[in-house]
Amino acid sequence: MLPNRFPDEGQAPEYNTVDATLWYFEAIRAYHEATHDDALLHDLFPVLADIVDWHVRGTRYQIHVDPADGLLYAGEPGVQLTWMDAKVEDWVVTPRTGKPVEVNALWYNALCIMAEFARLLVRSGGFSRFSPDEGSSLADYYTSLAEQARAGFARFWNAEAGYCYDVLGGPDGNDPSLRPNQLFAVSLPHSPLPPEQQKAVVDACARHLLTSHGLRSLDPRHPDYKGHHGGDRRTRDAAYHQGTAWGWLMGPFVSAHLKVYHDPALPRSFLAPLIHELDAHCVGSLSEIFDGDPPHAPRGCIAQAWTVAEVLRAWRETQ
């Protein structure tokens, strides 16, 4: 696993994250697509293969593949493992224990990437540790895991609501809350959803979660929705992922919209208010979060790296 935090005072790194390691696969894929650096791919492939093996057999915090459906399960009491990680003392605000939708979208994407990497290294002769036949067998193995995960992912579809469950198999069953996490099942290069469901996800998020400055972290119709982020720490953290709009989520929304509608002009227009925000709050940068309710006042960190990065990435993608 990759740590999600290195403490300032030199203490041991913290590993309470289920998604950071899976994003590593996507980061390497994007890097290789830009550079065609097969040498780095050759060096890192054994590391990535070891990561997959540990996820299959199980690692920290009950992170493991459920052999029944090929999906990743994660979580235990008192631990917050997804990016929705607010915790106040012993209170985990959104624990999301079970099989979170974006984690399994990332898992499927990672397995597809591994199959692609294995085939690429076989073609380029870059497998010094494996024979071509062994490399091809590895590609087939990752493809098989991906196909099992894709078939299992069909369980996320909530036909009655017309979008995905946020978490499967949690302590209280399947969570039907409409959250933006399901966008990653569309925006990532490898989607486990059929085209008609991809479009339905984008439409549902556009209808209920999209704001001028990002996507709400929870549907305003939900009883736990909080449209204002303010007050003391407990009050702020209670709203952090319960309605607060996140600027960085505009990136995956734009990517998903572009994938299903193939019209770069409209998703680019969604970025315009955030571009104007460069002159409105922290000059030259973008805030972490915004109120879910209009007028979507900026909150949190005034210059947030992942907001800036995702707006830049999405702006480039729509050119």
Label residue 133 by pLDDT band (50, 70, 90): confident
Give the mean pLDDT of the chain: 95
Q: What is the pLDDT of residue 126?
A: 66
Q: Could you tell me the domains of the chain?
A: 1-193 (1.50.10.10), 209-319 (no CATH)
More confident: 163 or 280: 163
Q: What percent of the chain has pLDDT over 70?
A: 98
Q: What is the pLDDT of residue 129?
A: 65
Q: What is the pLDDT of residue 130?
A: 64
| Full-model pTM | 0.95
**SS3 of the chain:** CCCCECCCCCCCCECCCCCHHHHHHHHHHHHHHHHCCHHHHHHHHHHHHHHHHHHHHCCHHHCEECCCCCCEEECCCCCCCCCCCCEECCEECCCCCEEEHHHHHHHHHHHHHHHHHHHHHHHHCCCCCCCHHHHHHHHHHHHHHHHHHHHHHHHHEECCCCEECCEEEECCEEECCCCHHHHHHHHCCCCCCCHHHHHHHHHHHHHHCEECCEEECCCCCCCCCCCCCCCCHHHHHHHHCCCCEEHHHHHHHHHHHHHHHCCCHHHHHHHHHHHHHHHCCCCCCCCCEECCCCCCCEECCCCCHHHHHHHHHHHHHCC
Residue 122 confidence (pLDDT) above 90: no
